[in-house]
Chain A
Amino acid sequence: MRWLQTALRALFDWADRLASAAFARENPLALLGALGWFFFWIVTVSGIYLYIFFDSGVTQAYASVEELTHAQWYAGGIMRSLHRYASDAMVVVLLLHVAREFAHDRLNGARWFTWFTGVPLVWLLFAAGVSGYWVVWDRFAQYVALATTEWLDTLPFFGESIARNFLHQDALSGRFFSLLVFIHIAVPLFLLFGMWIHIQRLNQPAVNPPRRLALSLLAALVVLSLVAPAESQGPANLDEVVTRVGLDWFYFGVYPLQDIYPGAGLWAALALATLVLLVMPWLVPARRRHIAQVHLEGCNGCARCAADCPYSAITMAPRMDGASFDREARVDAARCTGCGICVGACPTATPLARRSAVRPGIELESLAVAQLRDQTLAATAALTGDARILIYACRECGPLRRPQDPALAVIELPCVGALPPSFIDLVLSRRHADGVIVAGCAENDCRERLGVAWTQARLARIRDPWLRLRVDSVRLASLWAGAVTTRHLPAVVTRLRDALASEQPARHGRLDN
């Protein structure tokens, strides 16, 4: 599996570079989940509009859709096209979302729940699409109806043949057709419920893409709806066999396989594929996690760790140790990915205190604050030269090549969000280095979801714990480039050194600890 992940990761890294060049921080490939929600709402709103004018009678359905498409092209026609194209776009983003999360190894360990609950959404989306094409009752709907029911009849669950409902033109019952319309409303509701469950273990899930990107995509779909409006393929006639259809390959790509592998074989193949997807979190071994540990003697119950945890792994509970605080943080080990963002959020995780007191309210076994302080001091002590720079880098963004420059040092973290801003204060205010670079995943594409966003907000002094005002921002640079950090780092180092050079020379001196 690892080779497949590596290959897909390389593909996505290439596509990310392309998309980021155009969209910058609003790279759509990093916002696939949010785009799925966005397209769902377009489908919902356009669907509600279409339903107002849709006649669900078996003989009236086609005529009412034609009326919407042609007589009301400026509204109903656009809505119908939006309904179709946004549905297709949902398939695209869903497939890419699955592939991307797999490629970035965001599926195992504590993240299994989100992956596992996402798999049924593939089937629900498929069912929603199938039932949607069905109710138009054109030639394509006729093909879909017969191919689907004949395929369902190969399952042993149904006593009666469902395909017999479409035996000939006179056999089609209005009640059965009404049932289809009901299914097309009910299945998307189940899909919405499934999507809601899917994000339950995420703190601040991204369900809305950035406004500019959303408007751009909506505009693209509207233009597409005007240029190439969705149209029916002629009225259904069950007395004639459908000989050729324009297939929507996003939803019906597997249907031609029914003609190649008739019977239950295709069901078996898809069931196996679904099973493999479901158990994928356990097929790809998870890396060892270091669960966050709460030290009650340092925890003041401020709840910043709970607010910042991307996986809702921390809850605040009534204080049990008799301390004067109301609450204490508790970590759900099953949900903790060991990202360390809680450490970065903890106001007591400061290296500025005396050495004996460096024991914060929460920290990782692998990233004790005292240990990070020692690493920082050791790394900066080894720096030589005029513009000494310390780089705090995310370990998950790909291997960062060790710089040969003696004035550069790198400390890797499980996520840049694990870095308490007070460390930057320590390095710069006490002149252990002349500049600091914080390098993490691409914006909106943090492996630990919120690490980049929280770090940016802390450094911008808009989210607690923020960087102290005494820290000179000129001496601080950031790089959000993910897998291409190594490529962009030299330019950021050069820019920071240029900025440092423009400062007073005295400010480059080193103060004793």
Chain B
Amino acid sequence: MSVPRVCGQFVLLALFAALLDYFSVAPSYAPFPTDQAQIKVSFSRAGAHRGGCRQLTAEELAKLPPNMRAPLDCPRGRLDVVVELDLDDRQVLAATLPPGGLAGDGEATIYRKLRVAPGRHRLAIRMRDSARDAGFDHVAEREVMLEPAQNFVIDFDAAQGGFVFH
């Protein structure tokens, strides 16, 4: 094999390697500004049954097979879940979450990200998951100190008593 050909191969292979090296990590990408913090509101919550549940009578229960004698007869569909978030007394989030599933009988889910300036903030979050016309079933307030690039999460866990802040 001639020297020019070997040199040509070397150059082309070096160019190929350089291409792999550079574009495997560069140019870098900045998906989020360094001078901001993030509040993430995310939870899954099933709204109350649409139309409410009815207590079955003893006669009705007796007619059912033993393994299907649930005391409540509930319609399958569920209500929307309403959530609102205030940041420093200013509403920054208001959402009506439809129930999941084809039959509308699943959990309503929210996954929202908000960019905020770092520093001290007062958060107030409210959620309605019942058939009530006004007001909210779950309310929480928290004063937080956010660092730049901090990811502050507001979740909901009924077992822990409602809203959970991470």
Binding site for B on A (CB under 8 A): 18-19, 21-24, 84-85, 88-89, 92, 143, 147, 150, 153, 159-161, 163-164, 167-171, 216-217, 220-221, 223-224, 227-228, 230, 238-250, 255-256, 259
Beyond A220-B14, A243-B30, is A22–B5 a contact (Cβ under 8 Å)?
A: yes
List 7 tightest A-B contacts by C-beta distance, closest first. Answer: A22-B8, A246-B25, A168-B166, A224-B17, A220-B13, A247-B29, A249-B23
B111, A241: Cβ atoms closer than 8 Å: no
Contacts of A150 in B (CB 8 A): 111
Q: Is B150 an interface residue (CB 8 A)?
A: yes
B12, A19: Cβ atoms closer than 8 Å: yes
Please measure, in the bound complex, the distance between the C-alpha atom of A476 and the C-alpha atom of B140, giving whole angstroms.
91
Binding site for A on B (CB under 8 A): 5, 8-9, 11-14, 16-17, 19-21, 23-34, 37-38, 40, 42, 44, 100-101, 106-107, 109, 111, 149-151, 153, 155, 166
Please give the distance in Å from B36's CB to the nearest CB on chain A: 8
Contacts of B26 in A (CB 8 A): 246-247
A220, B16: Cβ atoms closer than 8 Å: yes
A248, B23: Cβ atoms closer than 8 Å: yes
Interface residue from A89, A159, A240 paired with B100 (Cβ < 8 Å): A159
Please give the distance in Å from A13's CB to the nearest CB on chain B: 17
Please measure, in the bound complex, the distance between the C-alpha atom of A244 and the C-alpha atom of B34, giving whole angstroms.
8
Q: List 5 A-B contacts (CB under 8 A).
A: A22-B11, A159-B107, A168-B166, A230-B24, A242-B31
Please give the distance in Å from B129's CB to the nearest CB on chain A: 17
Please measure, in the bound complex, the distance between the C-alpha atom of A243 and the C-alpha atom of B37, giving whole angstroms.
10
Please measure, in the bound complex, the distance between the C-alpha atom of A22 and the C-alpha atom of B12, giving whole angstroms.
8
A21, B8: Cβ atoms closer than 8 Å: yes
Contacts of A216 in B (CB 8 A): 9, 13
Interface residue from B11, B29, B101, B109 paired with A256 (Cβ < 8 Å): B29
Contacts of B155 in A (CB 8 A): 167-168
Please give the distance in Å from A245's CB to the nearest CB on chain B: 6
A92, B19: Cβ atoms closer than 8 Å: yes
B109, A161: Cβ atoms closer than 8 Å: yes
B111, A164: Cβ atoms closer than 8 Å: yes
Interface residue from A153, A220, A230 paired with B111 (Cβ < 8 Å): A153
Of chain B, the residue at the smallest CB distance from A86 is B20
Interface residue from A84, A159, A160, A221 paired with B17 (Cβ < 8 Å): A221
B29, A245: Cβ atoms closer than 8 Å: yes
Interface residue from B9, B20, B24, B27 paired with A23 (Cβ < 8 Å): B9
Contacts of A159 in B (CB 8 A): 100-101, 106-107
Please measure, in the bound complex, the distance between the C-alpha atom of A150 and the C-alpha atom of B31, giving whole angstroms.
13
Contacts of B31 in A (CB 8 A): 143, 147, 242-245, 256, 259
Contacts of A167 in B (CB 8 A): 40, 42, 153, 155, 166
Of chain B, the residue at the smallest CB distance from A219 is B13
Beyond A167-B155, A216-B13, A245-B29, is A161–B24 a contact (Cβ under 8 Å)?
A: no
Taking A92-B20, A249-B27 as given, write out 20 further A-B residue pairs in contact, using a Cβ cutoff of 8 Å, ordered by the A residue number: A22-B9, A23-B5, A23-B9, A85-B17, A89-B16, A150-B111, A160-B44, A163-B42, A168-B166, A221-B17, A230-B24, A241-B32, A241-B37, A241-B38, A241-B150, A244-B29, A244-B31, A245-B31, A248-B24, A249-B24
B151, A168: Cβ atoms closer than 8 Å: yes
Interface residue from B8, B27, B28, B149 paired with A240 (Cβ < 8 Å): B149
Please give the distance in Å from A204's CB to the nearest CB on chain B: 26
Please give the distance in Å from A292's CB to the nearest CB on chain B: 39
Most chain A CB neighbours (cut-off 10 Å) among B19, B20, B34, B44: B20
A243, B11: Cβ atoms closer than 8 Å: no
Please measure, in the bound complex, the distance between the C-alpha atom of A19 and the C-alpha atom of B15, giving whole angstroms.
12
A243, B5: Cβ atoms closer than 8 Å: no
Please measure, in the bound complex, the distance between the C-alpha atom of A246 and the C-alpha atom of B38, giving whole angstroms.
21
Of chain A, the residue at the smallest CB distance from B21 is A228
Of chain A, the residue at the smallest CB distance from B11 is A22
Please give the distance in Å from B5's CB to the nearest CB on chain A: 6
Of chain B, the residue at the smallest CB distance from A22 is B8
A217, B13: Cβ atoms closer than 8 Å: yes
Beyond A167-B40, A167-B166, A248-B24, is A243–B34 a contact (Cβ under 8 Å)?
A: yes
A243, B24: Cβ atoms closer than 8 Å: no
Of chain B, the residue at the smallest CB distance from A249 is B23
B17, A161: Cβ atoms closer than 8 Å: no
Contacts of A221 in B (CB 8 A): 17, 20
Contacts of B16 in A (CB 8 A): 89, 92, 217, 220
Of chain A, the residue at the smallest CB distance from B8 is A22
